[in-house]
Amino acid sequence: MKTRGVLVAFGGNALVERGQDATLPEQTRRADELAGRLAVMAGEGWRMVLVHGNGPQVGNSLIRSEAAIHQVPPLSLDVCVAESQGSIGFLLERALRNAMRRRRDTPEPVTILTQVLVRSRDPQLKKPTKPVGPYFPRYRALELRKRRGWKMVEEQGRGFRRVVPSPRPVEVLGLDSIAELLRGGRIVIAAGGGGIPVVGTSRGLRGVEAVIDKDLTAGLLARRLGIDLFVILTDVDGVYENYGREKERLIPRLTAGRARRGIARGEYPAGSMGPKVQAAAEFVRATGREVIITCARRLAAALRGTAGTRVVAG
């Protein structure tokens, strides 16, 4: 059996179902479900890297930090991302170990705390657009804007929320270690939440209060590792034409050229499918290899070519 490398990226919502509380038992249950599907791939000979999102989990960390602000110092956003890498990595690694034991397979999972370099002059660092954390009443939002320099935006009927930059990933630190573990047959959980954002300074690395899109980091990591197949799991079956409208239609085969034109025309929203299609198009363009975009429950069918969207050269 030929050994192939696959990178699977999935959102933090994979462990937190929409409309439900992010309780530990619920996240554990969903981690077990996902691990079962991934264990089947590992058993078929795939060398696997996993990149998870962390949106709901980091949001909850920021809410807890705000609630306890009068008792303990608040945590910076980069530290919250690091915390989520550890906690989500633990849930996934434990679930994968259990799934492997049940299947009597040998691949061993390992979680890597991963920093990702962004450019200190990235224009996005001066244009906060990504909402994070809790909603605040007006008086608290004005106080935070004045005392901490946060940019706050109002969402009608819910209050004010902080927005932070989302710079583009440039380099995944620790790449050689990830590659060595992958070659050694490990299932590597890395770059969670898009990675802990850092910039280089004259005094070394410094964390920044930002979030990196996990799909763009996953695509960068897949290219650097020479991955054979890049899989992006989302909460819908694949990429749709006219999504949410009357003539909605699943696109089973999407060329990288068509994907780039669709991004330019705004067909794929920046807050949902846009980064996934962009990461897929960039991977295909750089490597000539394919990307699958689908949901976890359709993963097996998508690997057989009977579900999901395949992004291909052209």
| Ranges 14-23, 100-109, 304-313: which has the least confidence | 14-23
Pick from 27, 54, 49, 29: nearest CA to 38? 49
Q: What is the pLDDT of residue 1?
A: 40
Most confident of 57-71, 128-142, 199-213, 238-252: 199-213
> What's at 7, amino acid-wise?
L
User: Which segments within the chain are labelled E, that is strand?
Assistant: 4-10, 46-52, 109-111, 115-118, 130-136, 151-155, 159-164, 169-172, 187-189, 196-201, 204-207, 229-234, 240-241, 249-250, 253-255, 291-295, 309-312
Q: What is the pLDDT of residue 21?
A: 67
pLDDT per position as a tens digit, 255-282 = 999 999 999 998 888 878 999 999 999 9
pLDDT higher than threshold 80 for residue 241 = yes
Q: What is the pLDDT of residue 105?
A: 80
Q: Centre a 10 Å sphere on the Cβ of residue 249 and count the other Cβ atoms it contains.
A: 10
pLDDT higher than threshold 60 for residue 138 = yes
Q: What are phi and psi of 226, to 5 degrees?
A: 70, 35
Q: What is the pLDDT of residue 3?
A: 64
Interatomic CA distance for residues 314 and 310, integer angstroms: 12
Interatomic CA distance for residues 295 and 235, integer angstroms: 5
* Domain residue ranges of the chain, discontinuous segments joined by +: 4-312
Q: What is the pLDDT of residue 20?
A: 65
Interatomic CA distance for residues 95 and 36, integer angstroms: 8
Q: pTM for the complete prediction? A: 0.93
pLDDT higher than threshold 90 for residue 23 = no
With H, G, I as helix, E, B as strand and everything else as coil, classify residue 301.
helix
Q: Does domain 4-312 have CATH number 3.40.1160.10?
A: yes
Interatomic CA distance for residues 220 and 55, integer angstroms: 20
pLDDT higher than threshold 80 for residue 79 = yes
Give me the count of residues in the chain.
314
Pick from 205, 292, 254, 238: nearest CA to 7? 292
Higher pLDDT, 94 or 55: 94
Q: Average the pLDDT over 100-109 and give the result.
A: 87
pLDDT higher than threshold 80 for residue 161 = yes
DSSP letter, residue 236:
S
pLDDT per position as a tens digit, 139-153 = 999 999 998 889 999
Q: Average the pLDDT over 213-237 and give the result.
A: 96
Pick from 214, 208, 216: nearest CA to 77? 208
Interatomic CA distance for residues 21 and 31, integer angstroms: 15
Interatomic CA distance for residues 94 and 175, integer angstroms: 23
In the chain, the percentage of residues whose pLDDT exceeds 90 is 75
pLDDT per position as a tens digit, 56-75 = 889 889 888 888 988 998 88
List the catalytic residues.
12-13, 130, 214, 276
Q: Centre a 10 Å sphere on the Cβ of residue 165 and count the other Cβ atoms it contains.
A: 21
Q: What is the pLDDT of residue 128?
A: 93
